[in-house]
Amino acid sequence: MSLTIKIEFGGGLELLFSNQKSHKIEVPSKIPARERSESERAVDLQYLIFWLRDNLLKERVELFIENGTVRPGILVLVNDTDWELEGEGEYQLKDGDEIVFISTLHGG
């Protein structure tokens, strides 16, 4: 089983992802257990961030991820809502979700 997720990059972040703003991706709906003591768990935003790094990111990972999450200064929206209202990395993805990442670190 997999989930279809729409990804949007903005504010210059798209430059790290083949200069493409819009992506449609499929991620597994469950995160496989890494150890025997662990059970499978539903896929969350935290997992998605690492999935993007491993599957979609083309360059300069340090501009996207820092200390296990997105770099400070990157805004994340879940279906057009600030991820800070949705539990941030713990938000459980649903089929058809739209996740937006916007960098605020560019000049203006």
95 binds other proteins (CB under 8 A): no
How far apart (Å, rounded) are the C-alpha atoms in residues 38 and 95? Answer: 24
> By the 8 A CB rule, do 104 and 84 touch?
no
65 binds other proteins (CB under 8 A): no
89 binds other proteins (CB under 8 A): no
The site map against other proteins for 14-53 (x = CB under 8 A) is -x--------------------------------------
Residue 29: exposed, middle, or buried by beta-carbon count in 10 A (0-12, 13-18, 19+)?
A: middle
Pairing of strands 2-10, 22-28: antiparallel
Q: Contact residues for other proteins (CB under 8 A)?
A: 10-12, 15, 71-73, 75, 77, 80-82, 84-87, 100, 102-108
